[in-house]
């Protein structure tokens, strides 16, 4: 993957540093959320697939890790402030699974799945696939960081869930490969990270939250709470995405991806909420607040993305940076 285009002084300095230019010492004050989240996303990608022009050894460069830590602190602080309303949905619930269910069913005022189901045009549907490609082309990778950080029933259940996400023994069944086929069928570029320059900070933040939780052992509870909320909100949304794809005749591979997830994620939500989070809370009860924080972060950031998308689409505009998809495909 190529390095993305900078979006401010921090991402510009980071790209310069990664390509052998002047060393970056501090994050300083990023030029707004696009600059912050793109920089954080680049630093996280060093742990996934890396970049063509960047030495793989930079993954563990202490200077870059220090910059990353600065950005993570401001991201985490902001998230903790912002999840309050979603988290409050769990107040009345009595046990952890009901608390997770209450968080997962928190309704924001905007719903992408409802919009795609009934109102979206094919161009808007393609924009949705583009935004989602950032995550789905590495589907389940961020949660895999948690495997060595868990033990017992939680570890076994996470491995069971991920066996499915990672193809159940068949490379052509990797969920990331199913999504790549959906992108191709929609006439889009299915190469990893192809659209990073087109997605706004809202989508980058969704991805960064998963990496933040996955890459820090202290956030193992939040990583699993995030996974639970992700799976619990998925079956209903995927049913609507499927119906939208059928209405717009997006093609068999697009339909197949979402159809597959209606049933798969109904199983995954049970595994994630009850077995993974449930066992984790039993063996490490001090992690319950972290589990709920991760779940609330997932739902809150989904709402942030949804509000941004629906505002753009209902105003007749594009959710993508640089305009609509006519020149994307």
Q: Tell me which residues touch Fe ion (CB under 5 A).
A: 165, 175, 265, 268
Compute φ and ψ for 317, nearest 5 degrees: -105, -165
Residue placing its CB nearer to Fe ion in the complex, 30 or 142: 142
Q: Give dist(CA 224, CA 220) in Å, integer.
A: 6
Q: How far apart are CA 247 and CA 125, in angstroms?
A: 11
Nearer to Fe ion, 162 or 211 (CB): 162
Report CA-CA distances (Å) from 31 to 9, 37, 67.
6, 10, 15
Closest CB to Fe ion among residues 184, 197: 184
Nearer to Fe ion, 122 or 267 (CB): 267
Token reading at 145: 């960081």
Least distance (Å) from Fe ion to the CB of residue 270?
11
Query: Do 321 and 198 form a contact (C-beta atoms < 8 A)?
Result: yes
DSSP per position, 233-258: HHHHHHHHHHHHHHHHT--HHHHHHH
Cβ 120 to Fe ion, closest distance in Å? 22
Question: Do 168 and 287 contact (CB within 8 A), yes or no?
Answer: no
Sequential DSSP letters for 301-316: HHHHHHHHHHHHHHTT
Minimum distance, C-beta of residue 138 to Fe ion, in the bound complex (Å): 11
Asked if 224 contacts 275 with a C-beta cutoff of 8 angstroms, the reply is no
Q: CB-wise, 7 or 138, nearer to Fe ion?
A: 138
Minimum CB distance to Fe ion smaller for 37 or for 226 = 226
Contact 239, 262 (CB under 8 A): yes
Work out how close the CB of 133 gets to Fe ion at its nearest, in angstroms, rounded to a whole number: 14
Q: Please state the closest distance from residue 258 (CB atom) to Fe ion, in A.
A: 10
Q: Which two tokens stand for residue 194?
A: 């192809």
Measured from the CB of residue 212, what is the shortest distance to Fe ion in angstroms? 20
What is the spatial distance between Cα 50 and Cα 38, in angstroms, rounded to a whole number?
Answer: 14
To the nearest whole angstrom, how small is the minimum distance from the Cβ of residue 239 to Fe ion? 14
- Shortest distance in whole angstroms from residue 66 CB to Fe ion: 34
| Nearer CB in complex with Fe ion: 68/175 | 175
Q: Name the residue number minimizing CB distance to Fe ion.
A: 175
Taking CA 276 as the corner, what is the angle to CA 274 and CA 278, rounded to the nearest 5 degrees? 50
**Between residues 138 and 268, which has the closer beta carbon with respect to Fe ion?**
268
- CB closer to Fe ion out of 77 and 263: 263
C-beta separation of 246 from 255 below 8 A? yes
Shortest distance in whole angstroms from residue 175 CB to Fe ion:
4
Residues 51-85 as b or e (16 or more Cβ within 10 Å = b): beebeeeeeebeebeebbebbbeebbeebeebbee
């Amino acid at each position: 993957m190529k390095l993305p285009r900078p979006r401010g002084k921090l991402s510009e300095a980071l790209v310069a540093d990664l390509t052998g230019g002047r060393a970056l010492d501090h994050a300083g004050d990023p030029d707004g959320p696009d600059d912050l989240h793109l920089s954080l996303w680049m630093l996280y990608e060093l742990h996934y697939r890396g970049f063509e022009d960047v030495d793989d050894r930079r993954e563990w460069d202490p200077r870059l890790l220090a910059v990353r830590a600065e950005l993570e602190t401001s991201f985490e602080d902001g998230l903790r402030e912002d999840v309050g309303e979603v988290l409050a949905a769990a107040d009345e619930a009595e046990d952890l699974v009901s608390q997770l269910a209450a968080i997962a069913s928190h309704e924001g005022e905007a719903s992408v799945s409802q919009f795609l189901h009934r109102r979206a045009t094919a161009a808007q549907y393609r924009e949705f696939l583009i935004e989602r490609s950032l995550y789905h082309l590495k589907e389940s990778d961020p949660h895999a960081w948690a495997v060595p950080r868990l033990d017992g029933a939680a570890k076994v259940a996470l491995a069971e869930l991920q066996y499915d996400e990672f193809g159940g023994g068949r490379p052509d069944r990797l969920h990331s490969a199913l999504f790549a086929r959906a992108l191709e069928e929609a006439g889009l570029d299915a190469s990893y990270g192809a659209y990073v320059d087109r997605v706004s900070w809202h989508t980058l933040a969704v991805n960064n939250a998963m990496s933040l939780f996955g890459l820090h052992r202290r956030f193992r509870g939040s990583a699993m709470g995030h996974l639970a909320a992700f799976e619990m909100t998925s079956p209903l949304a995927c049913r609507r995405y499927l119906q939208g794809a059928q209405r717009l005749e997006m093609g068999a591979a697009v339909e197949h991806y979402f159809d597959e997830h209606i049933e798969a994620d109904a199983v995954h939500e049970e595994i994630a909420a009850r077995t993974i989070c449930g066992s984790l809370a039993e063996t490490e009860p001090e992690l319950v607040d972290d589990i709920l924080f991760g779940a609330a972060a997932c739902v809150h950031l989904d709402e942030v993305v949804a509000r941004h998308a629906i505002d753009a689409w209902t105003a007749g505009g594009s959710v993508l940076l640089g305009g609509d998809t006519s020149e994307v495909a």
